[in-house]
């Protein structure tokens, strides 16, 4: 029986030719409607997509013969990875295919903003010779602020150094030593980064925490000569706040490749003479498209032959021992909880396994912890394969500790790391016949509640009335509490609340709780 590969979007011929040369039936059907896709995917063993095809539960059910889904690019917002994993379908992507193109486009936008290239071009082609109007600035000696020092941010920093720029960055998940090795000085906050920068370039992942991160509050710290470049994700900049800041002369200009809603063809930003815009061209080079097509073809060849797949985003549960397998989801959620609590990168991440589980190979669980720790803070999908490399790039050393005895639980997974001089700790276990996941420790406070998609952790003074204060604020804002536990410290103080909510807690509500008398800190954490 011939192996059939369904291709629903434009992919470089070089990649498709590899699949044909391997003897596969490459079935190219472009522009399918969702209903047509359900028919076309039947009998296909692999599916290749880009960003326009939605691979949801219905698609995966119709594609009952699917072995793998390949995304020729990085983002996987249009693939139901959890459902694919449940059905045993491998999901692969091409995470490094466009990073060089994106970094180079960032430099192009940086130079265009500094020298008013687009504006001068427009005037000249309209018959106007305006040399004096479009006087620019040099990059040499200027400070470039890099928000997010991952792969693309690092490439941009390296290129900016060649222009003689001074490099500062904010990325709480990169160690100072790692930053120093590439010639970058880390700062402690977004506000400090904005205040020091002559140019600011954005290379961070888009999450509920980073939406609007460059907004009215942070722009209050800007120099009037600041120019902002965004070739990362739309929505990280509050576009209305940026319009106001440029219009009032508090920011000099911007160069934007991405927008809060796309396609974007009408925006107040377009009317500002000091703004340069492009229609999401960061990855739009012939080389990036070729790399994506070739990479995804190589990954699918491996998957269809049953070989090791370096860019597999998910992993078959059969890779883990029967005893270890149920802990995969718990360990990833513990990692996400750790990152949400710590808001920074530890120099060393210690993962401890206690009880019967310690007798088994737990390396896959440690990788699952890393996926949770890094997933919210990097701009590419974190896989069981690339997680150690991504941790190493951020200067995080992983240490695995095992103990056959557990004091209070049959099995216990704990994560510890020191961040900013403070130890962050989370612990969890599986409970009962159904292996129900439970969070049983947060910063060495004893708690007991199931992990939820939306969580709120409040540290407070050990005084009466704190539960009522927090619950009243949540209730007044229509946030429903699904579960709650008051965590006690080893000495018995009830100085922490761990709360599961029915929906994400808005930032304004978290701020209101944090500002309440007796509250030391409050953090809303997403575990999905």
What is the 3-state secondary structure of 194-257? HHHCCEEEECCCCCCCCCCCECHHHHCCCCCCCEEEECCCCCCECHHHHHHHHHCCCCCEEEEC
> Residue 280 and residue 164: Cα distance in Å, rounded?
28
Q: What is the pLDDT of residue 363?
A: 86
By percentage, how much of the chain surpasses pLDDT 70?
A: 97
Q: What is the pLDDT of residue 338?
A: 95
Active-site option among 203, 233, 394, 438: 233
Quickly count helices (H) and strands (E) in the chain. 17, 22
**CB under 8 Å to 392, separation ≥6 — which residues?**
none
Is 514 in the active site?
no
Q: Between the CA of residue 290 and those of 17, 92, 520, what are the distances in Å?
A: 12, 17, 52
Q: What is the pLDDT of residue 350?
A: 96
> What CATH homologous superfamily does 4-96+286-304 map to?
NAD(P)-binding Rossmann-like Domain (3.40.50.720)
Out of 3.10.105.10, 1.50.10.20, 3.40.50.720, 3.40.50.970, select the CATH number for domain 99-277.
Answer: 3.40.50.720
Is 393 in the active site?
no
244-276 tens-digit pLDDT: 999 999 999 999 999 999 889 999 999 999 999
Q: What is the pLDDT of residue 315?
A: 63
Q: What is the pLDDT of residue 318?
A: 44
Across 251-339, the runs of DSSP E, i.e. the strands, are 253-256, 275-277
Is 104 in the active site?
no
User: What's the average pLDDT block by block, 10 residues per block, for the chain (528 residues)?
Assistant: 92 92 95 96 95 93 94 86 84 90 97 97 95 95 96 96 98 89 95 98 89 96 98 95 97 97 94 96 91 93 81 63 81 94 87 90 89 85 78 89 84 91 91 89 91 92 91 93 86 81 91 93 90
Active-site option among 262, 287, 319, 493: 262
Query: Do 4-96+286-304 and 99-277 come out as alike in CATH topology?
Result: yes
Domain range list for the chain? 4-96+286-304, 99-277, 318-526
Active-site option among 87, 280, 488, 514: 280
Q: What is the pLDDT of residue 383?
A: 74
Determine the topology of domain 318-526 in CATH: 60s Ribosomal Protein L30; Chain: A; (3.30.1330)
- Rounded to two decimals, the pTM is 0.76
């Amino acid at each position: 029986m011939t192996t059939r590969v369904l291709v629903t979007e434009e992919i470089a011929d070089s990649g498709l030719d590899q699949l044909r040369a391997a003897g596969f039936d490459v079935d190219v059907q472009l522009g399918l409607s969702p209903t047509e896709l359900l028919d076309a995917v039947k009998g296909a063993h692999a599916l290749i997509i880009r960003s326009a095809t939605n691979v949801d539960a219905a698609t995966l059910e119709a594609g009952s013969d699917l072995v793998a889904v390949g995304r020729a690019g990085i983002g996987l917002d249009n693939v139901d990875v959890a459902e694919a994993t449940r059905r045993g379908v491998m999901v692969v992507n091409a995470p490094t295919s466009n990073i060089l193109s994106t970094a180079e486009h960032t430099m192009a936008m940086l130079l265009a903003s500094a020298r008013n290239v687009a504006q001068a071009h427009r005037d000249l082609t309209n018959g106007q010779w305006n040399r004096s109007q479009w006087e620019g600035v040099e990059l040499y000696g200027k400070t470039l602020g890099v928000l997010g020092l991952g792969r693309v941010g690092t490439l941009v920093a390296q290129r900016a150094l060649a222009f003689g720029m001074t490099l500062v960055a904010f990325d709480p998940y990169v160690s100072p030593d790692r930053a120093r090795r590439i010639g970058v000085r880390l700062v402690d906050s977004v506000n400090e980064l904005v205040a020091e920068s002559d140019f600011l370039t954005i290379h961070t992942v888009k999450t509920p925490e980073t939406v609007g991160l460059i907004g009215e509050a942070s722009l209050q710290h800007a120099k009037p000569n600041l120019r902002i470049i965004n070739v990362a994700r739309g929505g990280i900049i509050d576009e209305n706040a940026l319009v106001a800041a440029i219009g009032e002369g508090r920011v000099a200009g911007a160069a934007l490749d991405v927008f809060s809603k796309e396609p974007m063809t009408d925006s107040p930003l377009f009317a500002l003479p000091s703004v340069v815009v492009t229609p999401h061209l960061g990855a739009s080079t012939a080389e990036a498209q070729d790399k994506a097509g070739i990479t995804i073809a190589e990954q699918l060849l491996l998957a269809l032959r049953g070989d090791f797949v370096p860019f597999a985003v998910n992993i078959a549960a059969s890779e883990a021992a029967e005893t270890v397998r149920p802990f995969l989801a718990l360990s990833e959620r513990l990692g996400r909880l750790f990152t949400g609590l710590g808001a920074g990168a530890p120099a060393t991440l210690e993962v401890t396994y206690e009880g019967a589980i310690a007798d088994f190979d737990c390396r896959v669980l440690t990788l699952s912890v890393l996926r949770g720790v890094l997933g919210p803070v990097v701009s590419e999908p974190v896989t069981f394969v690339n997680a150690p490399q991504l941790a190493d790039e951020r200067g995080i050393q992983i240490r695995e500790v095992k103990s056959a005895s557990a004091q209070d639980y049959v099995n216990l997974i704990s994560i510890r790391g020191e961040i900013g001089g403070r130890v962050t700790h989370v612990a969890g276990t599986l409970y009962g016949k159904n292996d129900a996941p439970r969070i049983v420790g947060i910063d060495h406070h004893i708690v007991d509640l199931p992990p939820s998609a939306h969580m709120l952790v409040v540290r407070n003074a050990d005084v009466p009335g704190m539960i009522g204060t927090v619950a009243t604020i949540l209730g007044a804002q229509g946030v429903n509490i699904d579960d709650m536990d008051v965590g006690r410290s080893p000495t018995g103080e009830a100085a922490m609340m761990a709360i599961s909510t029915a929906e994400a807690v808005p930032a304004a509500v978290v701020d209101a709780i944090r500002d309440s008398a007796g509250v030391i800190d409050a953090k809303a954490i997403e575990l999905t």
